[in-house]
Structure 1
Amino acid sequence: SILLGSLLATVCKSFPDGDFIKLLPETRPQPGQSSDPSHWAKIAKQDLQTATDVLRQTKENRAKNAILFLGDGMGVPSITVGRILKGQLAGNSGEEEILEFERFPHTGLSKTYNTDMQTPDSAGTATAFLCGVKAKSGTMGVNEQVISRNCTSQLKERNVMSFLNEAQQLGKSVGIVTTTRITHATPGAAYSHTASRDWEDDTERNSDVPNVNERSMCPDIAEQLVEYAINYTVIFGGGRLKFLPKNEITIDPITGRNVSGSRSDSVNLINKWKQRQEGYGRRPVYLETRKELQDTPTDPNAAYFGLFAMSHLRYDLDNQKDGKEPTLEEMTRKAIEILSQNPNGFALLVEGGRIDHGHHENLAQKSMHDLLAFEKAIKAAGELTKPDDTLTIVTADHSHVFSIGGWGRRGQPIFGKVQQQGRSARLRRSSLHTPVLRRRARRTGRSARANITDVDTEQENYKQQAVVNFPIESHAAEDVPIYARGPGSHLFHATHEQSYIAHVIKYSLCVGSYRAENYCLSSSSATQSSDLSHWAKIAKQDLQTATDVLRQTKENRAKNAILFLGDGMGVPSITVGRILKGQLAGNSGEEEILEFERFPHTGLSKTYNTDMQTPDSAGTATAFLCGVKAKSGTMGVNEQVISRNCTSQLKERSVMSFLNEAQQLGKSVGIVTTTRITHATPGAAYSHTASRDWEDDTERNSDVPNVNERSMCPDIAEQLVEYAINYTVIFGGGRLKFLPKNEITIDPISGRNVSGSRSDSVNLINKWKQRQEGYGRRPVYMETRKELQDTPTDSKAAYFGLFAMSHLRYDLDNQKDGKEPTLEEMTRKAIEILSQNPNGFALLVEGGRIDHGHHDNLAQKAMYDLVAFDKAIKAAGELTKPDDTLTIVTADHSHVFSIGGWSRRGQPVFGKVTYSYNNNYNSKGEALAEDNKPYTSLYYGDGPSAVDGPRANITNVNTESPDYQPQSVVKLAYESHGAEDVPIYARGPGSHLFHATHEQSYIAHVVKYSLCVGSYASENYCLSSSSGAILPSASAIVLLILLKIAVNFMYE
């Protein structure tokens, strides 16, 4: 068998893609790829080259400079919407656009919870990413021992230091640029140490600390800036009133009106800052206007303090009207020009803070225009610095309960109403809605959702609709991305605690405790401190792991490949699934780690179809399995095929999955799914169809009444028996699609007799058995869990398991009696069978019911299926080796699903929120919204749980029941997918090729490239000789004869 495998592999290299399959006895030819490189293949080739270059060029260099760009509230949905907006402003459809930071070579993900909050606060998160220590909500620059708003708990030994302060201590210039008040949460955590983010001036502090004698223990944030940030070279932002006394008048340049300061101590801190700078021998440069910023020359002997607004700077969209305030780009350019004068380097924090504020006010358009202004600042920084010596990081402190979905078509105006919905036969809508939705925010009135038929949703002050009435929209608890470039950027490669970001910067700059690291010293005798905090220990472990990943990563060829597809498993689902896993283990949950989050490489995937902004699972499956993006509803074909149009389904428009190409090279292949085996994701592996709904001939016939045309578009079940006949393992549901209507089978769950759904009177299960026997293989057909458990592995057998009439049950339902096999059990058996082939295998495993739970607004069932999916991934890891097996975990799309609502740490993930932002509770201790009704931390943007009237009162509802449907905004019969990016997690040979934001079709190309199948079989590293030459024809003829003899012998 080893000789035969080698022979097959050698011969495969001698023929154009797919041609040699004709040699196999009676096997129906698989449609090949187009001989011309497709658009998606070109993109993938470029990305593969980039990824290879990134690996080869990555070195463990020390950084001279570091810039942290913080997009406040810029979660994955915001990034996706911002990208589309950028493209549409340029006159394009938008989905294919690239944001500047998406060009960065390394990505990771950040867990954002505070030590006391599941839904994080910006002060606690800023302490994490600036200082390297997670802290309580509302506190800044202190560890978690400090109690929020408690002055006496604010002891000096509880202070923690930001990377900016540590960089300044080593002679680097440091600065802060923000569009918020300079005393606000993110900038304030860089230099201050306080028990309350609200103590921006002494007036605020005094109201919380009536004891005059205690106030010296907790100076206000503005005062701390003048004390602790006195050596900062650049401070640009807003918040002038926090530095002026109440008895002093200043002119608001926007309104032209006189305004009083807000301080009670009669101290002008701006003047004090000037005096202190002069005392240190520096020239103080104080700025208030855009013109002053533009006209100010750089001076290495000066310090710069710009307060360009009374409070926050205006939204960029508002500022565009008169340009009175400087843009974030202009402030960033000036800051870098000033800081770059220091030959020792610099450290800079740049915050796009009003992205967050736009979200809080439901002003999506203003938020997204600020995101684009933030992106321009990142581009400017790239023009002024070099990636060789500057570590640049882009991330967010948290996300928002904000999503994009609603089945918008490709190019749908991002702020417009959804004009035409895909899959309209499955949907019902109560009134128009936009693709951008919110779950928690200010709602117009407390009655039913407004009808927006006559509302201009594209005007800048339109507020997105929400389900729960809050005075301000809440943050979200899901992970946020990290994008990095420059020395140390490779250290972001997986899912990290948010505090890790500060440690990477300190490590890369060799500041703080990392000054003693060996690579920072001239001698190698340095010792490390043994007194490490909890978060520092975690960071040390992660840094070591990241360093090991870099050193151990090699461009090896993969023997095996497994693609785990969590259907609908977007970032919010992953976060909720992680918390659930932890809570099931008796912990608070937020700190838990899912199995695939241990993988060493991450990326992000853009999920749109060629005709849909909100993707469909058939089009996405074609992308990640075959490497070509396609239209919604089509499977295994290119975008020239028209949905539900049989005559457009020409053979030359078919595309081939990596499973089929792996099988052609002598590998064993298989599919495992919890859905019908003919459903969108598994079906795209082997079938080529204009409609995902043509799972049996009855469905196909209803769309294709012309009998003569039907041969052009066989149904999906029929194609499985034809085109997947050489698959070794096929496990899933959907038995009725293979049985005729006149045949009865017993449903093992209900015990009832059920008829098949086929109209052609053909029993395809029997046909599959006959075809397997015709090829000399022993057909093993299974219907029950016990049959799966008792079936021995046999290298001469093919396995077909149809364990349910339709989809398998939700894992939570199956736990009650265990009649159906779990995804873990099917995965284990599949790998045991496939591993018998010495040439290796390729396997697709789908956790398909995650998606279905979301569509039904059954969050608990969706999340238990995600945990079951995680168990299957763990099982695969136990049965395979990362040295020879490429394992990828990703999703086809996300959902309009979020977790937020200011929930406390350890909040039961399906329970009602018990912490009130406004101190409003019912008698049960449940937090109440503005409508005096309790709420949960989980919500949907749309779906069947929405109501036509006022939001339901859930006081007496058990929201932890498996059948509870979290509330949603827009009434649809079937909750929609989300259009935002989804993560990619990878381990094994080729996993390093996932490192940035990729088109979803890139996934298939990475698998093919790593396995050396399809068009990648001729890559130099796949060939035995370095020339990559094709065998001479005479040798090929001899090999063909040997192959024919070997194949006939095997089948006999």
Structure 2
Amino acid sequence: MIRRDFIKNGTLSALGISLVGTTETFGQLFTPSNKDTIGTAKNIIFLVSDGMSSGTLTMANLLSNRMYGRESRWISLYREKKAVRAFMDTASADSMVTDSAASSSAWGGGKRVNNGSLNVNADGSHNTPILQKFKNAGKKVGCVTTVPITHATPAGFCICNKSRNSQAEIALQYLPLQFDVMMGGGDKYFNPTKRSDKVDVYAKFEKASYQIAKTKAQMLSAKNQKPILGVFGNDALPFTIDQLHDKNHQELVPTLSEMTVKTIELMKDHPNGFVLQVEGGKVDWAAHSNDTSGLLFDQIAFDQAVEKAIEFAEKDKNTLVIVTTDHGNGNPGLFGEDNSDQKFDLFQKFKHSNEWILNEVKPNTSPASLIEMIQHGQGYAISNEQAKDLLSHYQKLDGGGLYNARKLPFELLGKIQSNYTSVYWGSMDHSADYVELAAYGPGSELMEPFVRNTELHNLMLNATGLKV
């Protein structure tokens, strides 16, 4: 018997594991809890830091401690023993490595679907999204995000569609649902001058009695008598590190925590309660670009939304807060023992993300100008050869990364930057890592130490006393 046959037929059979599809095997190994306890939660706030590897959570906490003198609220929930902590398996129906659509659908529809699908099974059948269930049960519901509101994570809680890429269609799918709050980016999916079909989706929402907010001031002045659609950017919202140093962004674009606070205010007095999904979506976008400053400051901004949710739940006593991520991405980490503290502290001097830097490069930008731009925006001086290498990629525009329409050299800048910050990346893609999961408030006692992502669907229903 050759070695691989021994492994295939001997070792695995001795462990009692059959060679079936990987996600099916996970389903056999990690069966859902048999608990049928019904919780007493009136409200649910489900917070997702999209694409957050464990290293991202660690480094954001380190940066927060060293820069602001305070640990992250997420970590403090563990330290203070206020949250139930679990590990979560994030696989989709067709891969150990999920995408955001399949992962959100696991929570939203309670079943694993193939990557790219939103609550649509391989046979074409649909799984009813959880916000539709809660809306039909009489609760107010909503989603807020830092990426387009039509993007995969909010959509997985709201609608069914065979393709996450059909965002113009998803914008129209939201309309008849009459959800109470929908806020994020994505003007290009609602604006008739930007849609290929020229449909004025804003006008349709206004006709359906929605308040439309396109600035932070308009959002803050919204009343709870009507539902609200808030769209604050053409595509995604700006990275936090860039917004912190741009007065125009600060005046016009709400932060994730500001959207969270306003949404809670708009829904908290509803007699039947509310369910809210909050997504820090640009954590994932930064990871796909190996953009460490974009990543860490957006993770800190997400944590500020967690803080506001916990603050409300502590006073309210009737709110289940779930904090997690849909999958890892890039697996960044702080490495090296020599001068790693001093190098990591360089992030305290950053004013801009890698995205901002690379988009500022013009055809006539010289190596000296690029060196000066990076030193001003990020606090370190690259070499003349490194500057020339970066600029050479603007001739061929061959850069990778999922959210990189211009094919800019994100990967190269990330590698160069690692030498100055001691933060290194493993990839520009999602990972199959098990991820952090925390729960606070009524219903958190239903959480097992290790869960399959689909189990959160029934947990939320059970926590509020709805029939599964």
TM interval, short-chain normalised: 0.7 to 0.9
SS of residue in 2 equivalent to 1:510: coil
Partner residue, 1:313: 237
Partner residue, 2:182: 235
Whether 1:483 aligns to 2:438 is yes
Pick closer, same or farther for the CA change 1:97–1:509 going to 2, 3 Å: closer
Q: Is the 8 A contact 1:60 1:487 kept in 2?
A: no
Q: How much has 1:144 moved relative to structure 2?
A: 3.5
Pick closer, same or farther for the CA change 1:403–1:310 going to 2, 3 Å: closer
Pick closer, same or farther for the CA change 1:144–1:101 going to 2, 3 Å: farther
Partner residue, 2:191: 244
Pick closer, same or farther for the CA change 1:140–1:412 going to 2, 3 Å: same
Pick closer, same or farther for the CA change 1:443–1:64 going to 2, 3 Å: same
- CA distance in 2 between counterparts of 1:341 and 1:294 reads 17
Partner residue, 2:118: 140
Partner residue, 2:212: 286
Whether 1:181 aligns to 2:159 is no
Q: How much has 1:241 moved relative to structure 2?
A: 1.2
Q: Is the 8 A contact 2:120 2:160 kept in 1?
A: yes
Whether 1:82 aligns to 2:60 is yes
Partner residue, 1:674: none
- CA distance in 2 between counterparts of 1:342 and 1:178 reads 22
Written as runs of structure 1 = structure 2, the 5 A alignment for 1:70-219 is 70-91=48-69, 99-102=75-78, 103=80, 104-146=82-124, 158-201=125-168
Match of 2:458 among 503, 524, 527: 503
Q: Which has the larger radius of gyration?
A: 1
Written as runs of structure 1 = structure 2, the 5 A alignment for 1:1022-1037 is none
Alignment TM-score, normalising by the size of structure 2: 0.72
Q: Is the 8 A contact 2:107 2:157 kept in 1?
A: no
Q: How much has 1:451 moved relative to structure 2?
A: 6.8
Pick closer, same or farther for the CA change 1:414–1:118 going to 2, 3 Å: farther
Q: How much has 1:101 moved relative to structure 2?
A: 4.5
Whether 1:341 aligns to 2:269 is yes
Pick closer, same or farther for the CA change 1:408–1:98 going to 2, 3 Å: farther
Partner residue, 2:297: 369
Match of 1:224 among 129, 153, 173: 173
Q: Is the 8 A contact 1:101 1:375 kept in 2?
A: no
Q: How much has 1:275 moved relative to structure 2?
A: 1.1
Q: How much has 1:140 moved relative to structure 2?
A: 0.5
Whether 1:356 aligns to 2:265 is no
Pick closer, same or farther for the CA change 1:335–1:445 going to 2, 3 Å: closer
SS of residue in 1 equivalent to 2:341: coil
Partner residue, 2:200: 268
Written as runs of structure 1 = structure 2, the 5 A alignment for 1:617-632 is none
- CA distance in 2 between counterparts of 1:320 and 1:73 reads 22
Gaps of 5+ in 2: 1-36, 347-399, 402-406
Written as runs of structure 1 = structure 2, the 5 A alignment for 1:266-665 is 266-277=198-209, 284-296=210-222, 298-299=223-224, 301-321=225-245, 322=247, 323=250, 324-386=252-314, 388-408=317-337, 412-413=341-342, 415=344, 456-457=420-421, 473-511=428-466, 513-514=467-468
Pick closer, same or farther for the CA change 1:160–1:89 going to 2, 3 Å: same
Partner residue, 1:984: none
Matched to 1:488, the amino acid is G
- CA distance in 2 between counterparts of 1:178 and 1:360 reads 18
Higher relative CO (Cα under 8 Å, sequence separation at least 6) belongs to 2
Q: Is the 8 A contact 2:84 2:438 kept in 1?
A: yes
- CA distance in 2 between counterparts of 1:64 and 1:178 reads 23
Q: Is the 8 A contact 2:323 2:439 kept in 1?
A: yes
Partner residue, 2:24: none
Matched to 1:393, the amino acid is I
SS of residue in 1 equivalent to 2:344: coil
Q: How much has 1:100 moved relative to structure 2?
A: 4.9
SS of residue in 2 equivalent to 1:349: strand
Q: Is the 8 A contact 1:181 1:237 kept in 2?
A: yes
Q: Deviations over 1:541-577 (max 9, x none)?
A: xxxxxxxxxxxxxxxxxxxxxxxxxxxxxxxxxxxxx
Matched to 2:447, the amino acid is F
- CA distance in 2 between counterparts of 1:184 and 1:88 reads 33
SS of residue in 1 equivalent to 2:278: strand
Pick closer, same or farther for the CA change 1:98–1:129 going to 2, 3 Å: closer
Matched to 1:238, the amino acid is G
Q: How much has 1:352 moved relative to structure 2?
A: 0.6
- CA distance in 1 between counterparts of 2:417 and 2:87 reads 36
- CA distance in 2 between counterparts of 1:312 and 1:451 reads 26
CA-based RMSD of the aligned residues comes to 3.0
Q: Is the 8 A contact 1:172 1:346 kept in 2?
A: yes
- CA distance in 2 between counterparts of 1:381 and 1:405 reads 29
Q: Is the 8 A contact 1:62 1:488 kept in 2?
A: yes
Matched to 1:86, the amino acid is S
- CA distance in 1 between counterparts of 2:121 and 2:165 reads 17
Pick closer, same or farther for the CA change 1:494–1:91 going to 2, 3 Å: closer
Q: Is the 8 A contact 1:482 1:492 kept in 2?
A: no
SS of residue in 1 equivalent to 2:233: coil
Q: Is the 8 A contact 2:50 2:327 kept in 1?
A: yes
- CA distance in 1 between counterparts of 2:312 and 2:64 reads 22
Q: Is the 8 A contact 1:130 1:189 kept in 2?
A: yes
Q: Is the 8 A contact 1:134 1:144 kept in 2?
A: no
Alignment TM-score, normalising by the size of structure 1: 0.33
Q: Is the 8 A contact 2:108 2:457 kept in 1?
A: yes
Give aligned pairs, total: 368
Pick closer, same or farther for the CA change 1:171–1:318 going to 2, 3 Å: same
Partner residue, 1:739: none
- CA distance in 1 between counterparts of 2:39 and 2:258 reads 30
- CA distance in 2 between counterparts of 1:291 and 1:80 reads 34
SS of residue in 2 equivalent to 1:179: strand
Matched to 1:172, the amino acid is K
- CA distance in 2 between counterparts of 1:478 and 1:486 reads 26
- CA distance in 2 between counterparts of 1:445 and 1:510 reads 47
- CA distance in 2 between counterparts of 1:414 and 1:328 reads 28
The runs of at least 4 aligned residues of structure 1 exceeding 4 Å deviation read 440-447, 449-453, 455-458, 464-468
- CA distance in 1 between counterparts of 2:211 and 2:202 reads 11
Q: Deviations over 1:394-453 (max 9, x none)?
A: 010000132324333798147368xxxxxxxxxxxxxxxxxxxxxx96996999x97779
Matched to 2:239, the amino acid is Y
- CA distance in 2 between counterparts of 1:97 and 1:172 reads 27
Matched to 2:253, the amino acid is E
Partner residue, 1:252: none
- CA distance in 2 between counterparts of 1:341 and 1:164 reads 18
Partner residue, 1:578: none
